[in-house]
Amino acid sequence: MKHDRPPPRQLGLNTAPIRLQKLLAEAGLGSRRQIEGWISEGRVRVNGQLAKLGDQATHADRIRIDGREVTLKPKRDSESQIIVYHKPEGEIVTRRDPEERQTVFRRLPRPKQGRWIAVGRLDINTSGLILFTTDGELANRLMHPSREVEREYAVRILGGVTPEALEHLTTGIELEDGPAKFDRVTDQGGSGANHWYHVVLHEGRNREVRRLWEAAGCTVSRLIRIRYGSVELGRRLFPGNWRPLTETERAELMALAGLRVLERPRLRRAASAAKPAVRRPQPDGETPSHAGPKWGRRPR
């Protein structure tokens, strides 16, 4: 591809070309997998020419997505953001929905730069933890099957579960897209017709948890993701609320993804001593559905 700008050396930019999807992911425009989809759909142009998978580019190239030019800034680890969101049932993990259903992005704060990238998805009837980040490389690593990042779910089963069914769930069941199993299944008790289990698996196939239980002859009446990797949902983050990761959570998650963490400047004592305001929850069953503690506010 020909450049219609001065040579990169004159601009003082990095002259080493890298894969286009990696360049855009590092700028926080999406995950690598998502950007590869854009390229395949013909939505990306580099220096006026239609991009294809395998193309390389630098910060000096003029890149357009859906006709809009994007500004590429060198990513700094200290600027990338990571938050935890408690998705309620009824929301979908997409930016635009033709049916105009509620999406998770409407409740998120405005990022300091780039855009929010969802680390994995939850279907409309599943609630719980979703990580969002402005770091496309981090999102890609956490979702990639080779990292084998654990996901943990709380599952409420309607009716009894036989010992044979539990054995099949941990030894393997053949699904339409190949064999699958849970790494662990833990009995959490229950009363009446409902019984709770915690299950752990290390891949994120579409509706895999529900499909495994259904293949074992069980009916899932509720499904909540309570952990992704080293980050736990906790009891204080109510549905529809978000919070930033703590420094410890951030460091552990970056290490899990095999990425280095740059030291961040310490906050002033007054700021670090401040505690988040807590709203008193109103009882509405097993899980509060309104706004709970306000971990963060949308920037003005």
- The set of catalytic residues is 123
DSSP 53-106: TT-EE-TTS-EEETTEE-------GGG--EEEEEEPTT-BS-S--TT---BGGG
The closest of 175, 154, 160, 169 to 216, measured between CA atoms, is: 169
Q: What are phi and psi of 35, to 5 degrees?
A: -70, -35
Q: Which position has the token pair 């590429």?
A: 72
Which residues lie across from 129 on neighbouring strands?
A: 86
DSSP 218-249: -EEEEEEEEEETTEE--SSS-TT-EEEPPHHH
CA distance 198 to 158: 14
Which residues lie across from 130 on neighbouring strands?
A: 85
Strands 63-65 and 44-46: antiparallel
Q: Which are the contacts of 138, defined by CB distance < 8 A and separation ≥ 6? A: 80, 82, 119, 253, 254, 257, 259
Residue 22 in tokens: 């990696």
